[in-house]
Amino acid sequence: MKKKAVAKNGNGNGGGLTYEQLKELFAQVAQAQAEFAQAQAEVAQAQAELAQAQAETNKQIDRVDKQLGDLGNKWGRFTEGLAFPSISRLLDEHFGMRKAQLRVRSKLDGGTLELDVLGYNDEAACVVEVKSHLREDGVKQILGTLAKFSKFFPEHGDKRLYGMIAAVDFPEALKDRVKKAGLYLARVQDETFEFEELFPLARAKDFNPATKGQRQNGHR
């Protein structure tokens, strides 16, 4: 009877792993899994710390935004207060509007319309927007205000309506935009607001209020 040949390698177990080798292999696998789990935990911790840092940064940004917004509002109020005497004079001298109010607000159907300055007499009203630095959105803002004026201030609804922008500073390119919109433009000259020479018709002799039903919003 012939005996089957058994191939043997150097460890004498027919090519398989010994118990010690298997034990060592399992130990290596377990160590690798533990290291991977630790790495995952470190990544999770880093992500949590990053999220916390981002949340703190967002809070700081919100605080700065609020502070800037508050500062901007205070500066705007300050500018309005400085401009009001000059604007009142312009309204009186050029339009015969001896009544002028600073920071006028009207609420209607859950909405609010705020005016920096409102001047008026028995025949006409003038909405004045005061800006430290005039931009295109400031022109759009006052045009939108003029469009809603009669709805929020029905007591002036039958009067001829004018719009004026009083700005400390503005790009020269906006002059034509303001003129085409039918608005008056005033700026600081010698520490007081005066009409721009661009609008020579802004004089009392040219002021001719329309009769009821003939009001033209924002235009002469």
- Binning pLDDT at 50, 70 and 90, where does residue 190 land? low
- Binning pLDDT at 50, 70 and 90, where does residue 132 land? confident
Q: How far apart are CA 135 and CA 34, in angstroms?
A: 62
Q: How far apart are CA 212 and CA 58, in angstroms?
A: 54
- Binning pLDDT at 50, 70 and 90, where does residue 210 land? very low
Give CA separation, 202 vs 27, 67, 75, 112, 121, in Å: 93, 39, 28, 30, 17
Helix locations, the chain, DSSP H: 19-95, 136-152, 174-180
Distance between first and last Cα of the chain: 127
Give CA separation, 47 vs 34, 39, 42, 53, 56, in Å: 20, 12, 9, 10, 14
Tokens of 150: 């009669």
Q: How far apart are CA 118 and CA 150, in angstroms?
A: 13
Q: Ranked by mean pLDDT, which of 8-17, 25-34, 70-79, 121-130 comes out on top? A: 121-130
Largest CA distance in the chain: 138
Q: Looking at the whole model, is its pTM more than 0.85?
A: no
